[in-house]
Amino acid sequence: MQLNNNVTEFILLGLTQDPFRKKIVFTVFLLFYMGTLLGNLLTVAAIKTSSDLRSPMYVFLFYLSLSDTCFSTSIAPRTIADALLKEATISFSECIIQVFSFHFFGCLEIFILILMAIDRYVAICKPLHYMTIMSHRVCSVLVAMAWVGSCVHSLVQVFLALALPFCGPNVIDHFFCDLQPLLKLACTDTYVINLLLVSNSGAICTVSFFMLMFSYVIILCSLRNHSAEGRRKALSTCVSHIIVVILFFGPCIFIYTRPATTFPMDKMISVFYSIGTPLLNPLIYTLRNTEVKNAMRKLWRKKVISDRSMN
């Protein structure tokens, strides 16, 4: 499809063209990205090395942290590098790869959040059958389905992007490649493709959000039959999940469930869910989860002891 287009590369306007503000963008994105890597990779390492974190909840948390890391990596490094350039360009092929990776790991995060909600529902509402329903085999199958579903979703995004003819101009008023900014550059009527975009990405975000909120309402209602300690622990876990869901899905629904129009705040909202949420997720989960914090402390002690023994 690229050979049928006059455009072989795009110019990314980024968040700003002002040199001083570009330095601010560079600093903020670098700090956010380093924090995201540190928090999520620590969570991944703690869960992977701890024998106490083998329950399905931590298996899903492992994949959530992994998807957060990859999701942020699909955007942040290039944005950081582009902030140092006078004019940031991206080839057609690289743009399509970014569309695929961004939607793949974003959709994977959505599916993992759904699996975490299912896990909490079974643990709180059907505790006696928890290990039977949420066995390791079932968890593996559910995670595999999440990966396959994410791949299907992102391939649809790529096919929609490849179906667009580009004749010029080639300036993308955004800091990364996504289907909505590309629709503005297509030299054809994009009504049908925008409708497909809303019915794909928009439907996934909206339906998943209401499914998750409904499931947590059921979970919270069922806590009336639990002991005070059980209610406290379950409520703490559910509140963490609800915060993550609102922070991630709110901006996504705003961006992907409307016609192909742009607003001045679109870029900042995109910054929030593409860079901010992956940074906040490990903070929300680790600060409210004693088991994960203990596993991180053990991992740190092992690292210190290992370094001392080598010296």
As a whole number of angstroms, the distance between CA 15 and CA 135 comes to: 46
Q: 3-class SS at 186?
A: strand
List, edge to edge, every strand of the sheet that includes 9-12: 88-91, 9-12, 171-172
Q: For 87-114, what is each residue's pLDDT tens digit?
A: 899 999 999 999 999 999 999 999 999 9
Condensed to tens digits (0 to 9), the pLDDT of residues 171-209 reads: 988 899 988 888 888 888 888 888 888 888 888 999 999
Identify the CA nearest to 244 among candidates 269, 206, 203, 213: 213
Average pLDDT of the residues of the chain: 85
One-letter amino acid at 93 equals: S
Which residue, 181, 190, 186, is CA-closest to 5? 186
State the pLDDT confidence band at 308, using cuts at 50, 70 and 90.
Answer: low
Q: How far apart are CA 154 and CA 149, in angstroms?
A: 9
Residue 1 has pLDDT above 70, yes or no: no
Domain ranges of the chain: 2-289
What is the average pLDDT across 257-277? 79
Asked whether the CA dihedral 222, 226, 228, 233 is positive or negative, the reply is: negative
In this prediction, residue 303 has a pLDDT band, given cuts at 50, 70 and 90, of low
- Which 3-state string (H, E, C) describes 264-275? CCHHHHHHHHHH
- pLDDT given for residue 307 in this prediction: 60
| Mean pLDDT value across residues 221-248 | 78
| % pLDDT > 70, the chain | 93
User: Where do we find the tokens 């330095």?
Assistant: 23
> Each residue of 25-56: pLDDT tens digit?
999 999 999 999 999 998 898 888 887 788 88
pTM of this structure: 0.89
Write the CA distances from 173 to 17, 149, 253, 254, 274, integer angstroms: 11, 30, 20, 18, 17
What the block records as the tokens of 166 is 């580009």
Alpha-helical regions (H) of 53-91: 56-73, 76-82
Query: Mind listing the pLDDT tens digit for each residue in 4-20?
Result: 567 788 999 888 888 89
- pLDDT for 2 equals 42
Instruction: Confirm if 39 and 113 have CB atoms less than 8 A apart.
Output: no
Q: How many residues does the chain have?
A: 311
**What's the rounded mean pLDDT across residues 283-306?**
74
> Of 255, 280, 277, which Cα lies nearest the Cα of 266?
255
Q: How far apart are CA 218 and CA 240, in angstroms?
A: 16
pLDDT over 70 (residue 311): no
Residue range 266-287: average pLDDT?
A: 84
Q: Are 92 and 9 in contact (CB under 8 A)?
A: yes
User: Both ends of the chain: CA-CA distance in Å?
Assistant: 58
Note the pLDDT of residue 245: 85
Domain 2-289 has CATH 1.20.1070.10: yes
- Integer Cα distance of 85 and 22 in angstroms: 9
Locus of tokens 């994960």: 292
pLDDT band per the 50, 70, 90 thresholds, residue 164: confident
Tokens of 53: 């974190």
Dist. CA 154–CA 174, nearest whole Å: 19
